[in-house]
Amino acid sequence: MGSGLWPLMRSWLPDLLAILRGGFIALFTCANDFSDLRGETLVWELLGARMLMAPQRNPFKAATIVHEPPASVLAHPEWSCSSCFVYAICGRKEKAPALPELGRETQLEKQLLKLACEHKRTQEPSPMP
């Protein structure tokens, strides 16, 4: 949801808005900190979500880490480890701007597109766990 890939981020938007509008507790996991966790945090900030449980390493993560071959000995390759981080949200911050009405998310989509492009441009892989 927060990788910086616009089609993926956009596809999540209706569900994220429904979760926030419903005031549900929602637990999320993600596969890395440099892309997924950072991006998801940015998306939730944009939407005014209230963090119920701050992001943290998940003790029940997958055992396998998938990574690209390093470009050099010094480079950090991109990596993923399913459910490596976990966090929870519930509702919205008290002073968060109102969410758009259903079917009127165009302005929010533009903000999300800008966020996705900037996030993708500034990603720098962290060391593998």
pLDDT digits (tens, 9 = 90+) for 41-73: 999 999 999 999 999 999 999 999 888 876 655
Nearest by Cα to 3 from 127, 129, 92, 125: 125
Tell me what the mean pLDDT of segment 70-93 comes to. 85
Rounded to the nearest integer, the mean pLDDT of the chain is 91
How many independent structural domains does the chain possess? Answer: 1
What pLDDT is stored for residue 70 in this prediction? 66
State the burial class of residue 47 (Cβ atoms within 10 Å of its Cβ: 0-12, 13-18, 19+): buried
Q: Is-above-0.85 flag for pTM?
A: yes
How many C-beta neighbours within 10 Å does residue 78 have?
17
* 128 found inside a domain: no
Tens of pLDDT, residue by residue over 29-42, are 999 999 999 999 99
* 127 found inside a domain: no
Containing domain of residue 106, as a range? 6-122
* 91 found inside a domain: yes
Tell me what the mean pLDDT of segment 12-27 comes to. 96
* 42 found inside a domain: yes
Q: With contact defined as beta carbons under 8 Å apart, do 123 and 34 qualify?
A: yes
